[in-house]
Chains A and B, each alone.
Chain A
């Protein structure tokens, strides 16, 4: 009786929004600002970071951090394109947007597994 596959995309969008709003800023503050400006002394040396991301939980964390915001932005971008007038190509727009998020997710998984 389900008419729509929207719930799956919307739930990924919603979860991605939470990650992008709450987790991503912390990550950016740590590695993007604190580490880059040298505030963290040697907390972010290559050896230490590599040891950290070798742990499965760290990899899972990075996977979630990368993948879910991709679906969030895909969903937003899809509706922005529709609002801008690409109503006729709704199907194609959805395939391209979510396809890019799926591709990014697979890529992230491959990189993280090989770390």
Chain B
């Protein structure tokens, strides 16, 4: 009996050859324990070495292999072929990003936004090393831990319809990471980050669609983080208006 096969329809785009983007269909062996990334690696090794894509860890940690799989943003290392077999699987680069080549997207916009929210601990005054480390209780760690799990895979940006319509929107992962530091008891940089967060292109462009949270492979819940940021910014605003003399 012939070995079962499955078809991968892969988005191809080689701008230096001046070709318009197209889909190419590859028939590959079907293995029950293969993920889409295994299939793509098989194509690269056995059928067509010109295929370009990003990947690294194969285990959902590095965040490199995000792709649109049958229209849904997923890590290709976590999408099993058996979820789609015997139907063909359509693989495209992450939505809402410019394409560099084949499945490789240009991530400059995301990298820029990431820097804008200053995702590091900001201190008014560093305490000297001799005073020891900054200590936290388990409860203080729990405040931000969920948001620290982000692997920068950008699936949330591909899932977010607001980002698709308004590319200036700061976006789910950047806001979630800003909150990761805002909610850290060691951090004192919330005021600085508000300059970027509390703007129309920051948290206020979000209409709580929630697709970011659905797409997130590590359960960061960016939508929830944005809602929390909205509440905080609103409380700030009312404090400013109602208690203008109050020192925050």
By a beta-carbon cutoff of 8 Å, the part of chain A in contact with chain B is 1-4, 6-8, 10-11, 14, 79, 83, 87
Contacts and interface: CB of A to CB of B under 8 A. Distances in A.
Contacts of B198: 2-4, 6-7
Given A79-B207, A83-B161, A83-B165, A6 B238 contact: no
A65 to B, nearest CB: 22
11 contacts: A1-B191, A1-B195, A2-B237, A3-B195, A6-B198, A6-B200, A7-B230, A8-B237, A10-B204, A14-B234, A83-B165
Contact residues of A: prevailing secondary structure: helix
Interface residues of B, number: 19
B240 A2 contact: yes
Contacts of B194: 1
B236 interface: yes
Interface of B: 161-162, 165-166, 191, 194-195, 198-200, 204, 207, 230, 233-234, 236-238, 240
Contacts of A8: 237
B234 A10 contact: yes
A3 B199 CA distance: 6
Given A10-B204, A10-B234, A11-B234, A4 B165 contact: no
A11 B240 CA distance: 15
A7 B200 contact: no
A43 to B, nearest CB: 39
Contacts of B204: 4, 6, 10
A3 B201 CA distance: 11
B168 to A, nearest CB: 10
A1 B166 CA distance: 24
Nearest to B199: A3
A58 to B, nearest CB: 27
A7 B234 CA distance: 5
Contacts of B234: 7, 10-11, 14
A4 B202 CA distance: 10
B98 to A, nearest CB: 20
A47 B2 CA distance: 84
Contacts of B236: 2, 7
A61 B236 CA distance: 27
B247 to A, nearest CB: 14
Residue picked from B161, B207, B240, most chain A C-beta under 10 Å: B207
A79 B194 CA distance: 22
A87 B198 CA distance: 19
Contacts of A6: 198, 200, 204, 233
B166 A87 contact: yes
B68 to A, nearest CB: 21
Nearest to A80: B207
Given A11-B238, A83-B161, A4 B166 contact: no
